[in-house]
Structure 1
Amino acid sequence: MRFSLLFVFVIVVGIYSYILCEAREPVCSKFAYEEQLLEKMIRTEIKVETMVNEIKKTEDNVISTLGNIKQTVADFTDMFADMRGNITNEMLKRGDEIKRREESFKTLFEETRKNLTSGNEAEKEKLIQLQGNLEQPAIAFYAHYLNDLLLDTTDEILIFKKTFTNEGTGYDTSTGLFTAPVGGLYQFDVHTYNRKYSYLGLVMEGDVIAADANYGDANHGCNNFGAIIRLKSGAKVWIKSTSSASNRQLYQDSYRFNTFSGLLVNN
């Protein structure tokens, strides 16, 4: 608005200057001068009116343009606000989707890890068992030579004082007891010669599990007995006299050995 008023002022000053210049032109009479002056004023008024109209149109165009610019800025502002809102919502949706997929992946990974761990543990147990089977310890003994051949005491333990084989050191030559170093299936064999009568039993933890009876024989007859039994680690096995008397006696020499043997068949 200030620009429009200044522009009108400049135009009025210019017109006034023009009129003064025209007034200096020579005239023939006072009437002619006035007529010319009136005509010039009319023409000037028309020009001023035309200029004012043009200024008004220009002002209207400027105001309209400013309004359009303002509306355009508002439209762009709304559009950017909508775009920002849409982008924000889309980012939130993407964030939720990524979080959901991350949780799903964690769950799947944990289940897979548990399955692999369980499978590995099962396979590990199988491998340990297989390794144990492949690395079965060598448990075996073969004992002979009795210091005391008389069987005059019931439940007397036969103590074989010498061993040809004692893998695993399960047999004790001082007590006559075999102690299982590991649990498993064992086989035991007893071979004896008799001078007169003999009643013997193979004992496991106090229970007779195999028995033998030999009667008088001038040729020192022999007999064999034994058993296959499953023992726990630490279980004890021995041979004892199951019946005693003065005529109960075994026999041995360099040609005849009384023996007690056993071995681990499978653990």
Structure 2
Amino acid sequence: MKMLVKIVLLVALCAFVNSTEPECSRFHYEEKTLEKMIKTEIYVDKIKSETEHMQQKMSEKMDGIQEDWKKTQLELKEANEDNEKAVEEIKNKVESLSTVQAVAFLAHNIKNKGPSDGETIVFSTTHFDVGSGYNNKNGTYTTPVAGIYMFTLQLCITGRRYIYFEIDTENGPILKGCFNDDSGSYDGCQTATTIAELGAKERVWIKSGSSSSGTDFWTQSTVWNSFSGVLISTVTK
């Protein structure tokens, strides 16, 4: 009886071992496979995340490059516009310089050789007058246009004589001076030059000041007592 029980238990144990061992091996394989699948999925997700992150950075970098390029294009456009504007301004200035109105005059042959203090010195001969500004009857020059003018006065003084003078305007003198000849034996010519900014239709004349008594100026064919002027540049007034 006892032997029979042992045989039955041995058979049952063998049956149990034979029946459960394969089941344990299959579960272990499936577990390992699932573990590998999970690890693979995690790895794939990681790669995907890194790829998306890299794509995002590249996209941001490209956006930055595009933004910089747009800014550069705008700056280039503005620089080109500024350059064109500067060129146009220079062109206009050159054109304005090249089209400055020609204005100039020269008068000589002094009318009164011994003018009194405060008298306008009149030069009776108009050598040329571009702009028709000099009046050789009253000795006054009238500017035809507003601008920067240069005026020159030459007076030939009798020996041992002197005379004070002004190049005068309605707004006051633009030059004051004195010519004198102290050589004793010789007469001499002296010159004075000045510049002034004047408006259109402003009058300019030579005013005599105090002088030595007697004839102060001398004239002959080889010398000129003269008054001249020229427009250097026009201005807007």
Bin for the TM-score computed over the shorter chain: 0.5 to 0.7
Which residue among 209, 214, 217 is the counterpart of 1:247? 214
1:140 counterpart letter in structure 2: A
Which residue among 211, 231, 234 is the counterpart of 1:264? 231
Instruction: Name the CA distance, whole Å, in 2 between partners of 1:161 and 1:125.
Output: 44
> Which residue pairs with 1:226 in the alignment?
193
Partner of 2:134: helix, strand, or coil?
Answer: coil
- 1:254: Cα distance to partner? 0.6
Deviations 1:201-257 (CA, angstroms, capped at 9, x unpaired) = 211225222222314543112211120111101111111111145336111111111
The RMSD of aligned alpha carbons is 2.5
Indicate whether 1:137 and 2:101 are aligned.
yes
1:157-168 alignment runs, 5 A limit = 157-168=120-131
Partner of 1:242: helix, strand, or coil?
Answer: strand
> Which residue pairs with 2:51 in the alignment?
none
Instruction: Name the CA distance, whole Å, in 2 between partners of 1:257 and 1:242.
Output: 20
Q: Provide TM-score, normalisation by structure 2.
A: 0.55
> Which residue pairs with 1:44 in the alignment?
none
> Which residue pairs with 1:201 in the alignment?
166
> Which residue pairs with 2:147 in the alignment?
184
Q: Provide TM-score, normalisation by structure 1.
A: 0.49
1:1-267 alignment runs, 5 A limit = 132-151=96-115, 153-195=116-158, 196-205=161-170, 207-210=172-175, 211-217=177-183, 218-244=185-211, 246-247=213-214, 249-267=216-234
Instruction: Name the CA distance, whole Å, in 1 between partners of 2:228 and 2:190.
Output: 14
Structure with more strand by fraction: 2
Q: 1:168 to 1:256 in 2, by over 3 A?
A: same
Are the equivalent residues in 1 in contact too, given 2:113–2:217 (CA < 8 A)?
yes
2:172 counterpart letter in structure 1: D
- 1:126: Cα distance to partner? 9.3
1:212 counterpart letter in structure 2: C
Q: 1:128 to 1:138 in 2, by over 3 A?
A: same
Instruction: Name the CA distance, whole Å, in 2 between partners of 1:129 and 1:179.
Output: 27
2:222 counterpart letter in structure 1: Y
Structure with more helix by fraction: 1
Deviations 1:3-44 (CA, angstroms, capped at 9, x unpaired) = xxxxxxxxxxxxxxxxxxxxxxxxxxxxxxxxxxxxxxxxxx
Shifted more, 206-215 versus 128-137: the winner is 128-137
Are the equivalent residues in 2 in contact too, given 1:141–1:166 (CA < 8 A)?
yes
> Which structure is richer in relative contact order (CA contacts within 8 A, separation 6 or more)?
2
Structure whose alpha-carbon radius of gyration is higher:
1
Instruction: Name the CA distance, whole Å, in 2 between partners of 1:165 and 1:212.
Output: 27
Shifted more, 241-250 versus 162-171: the winner is 241-250
> Which residue pairs with 2:59 in the alignment?
none
- Percent identity, aligned pairs only, is 29
Could you tell me which runs of 5 or more consecutive residues in structure 1 were left unpaired when the two chains were aligned.
Answer: 1-123
- 1:133: Cα distance to partner? 3.6
Are the equivalent residues in 1 in contact too, given 2:157–2:179 (CA < 8 A)?
no
Could you tell me which runs of 5 or more consecutive residues in structure 2 were left unpaired when the two chains were aligned.
Answer: 1-87
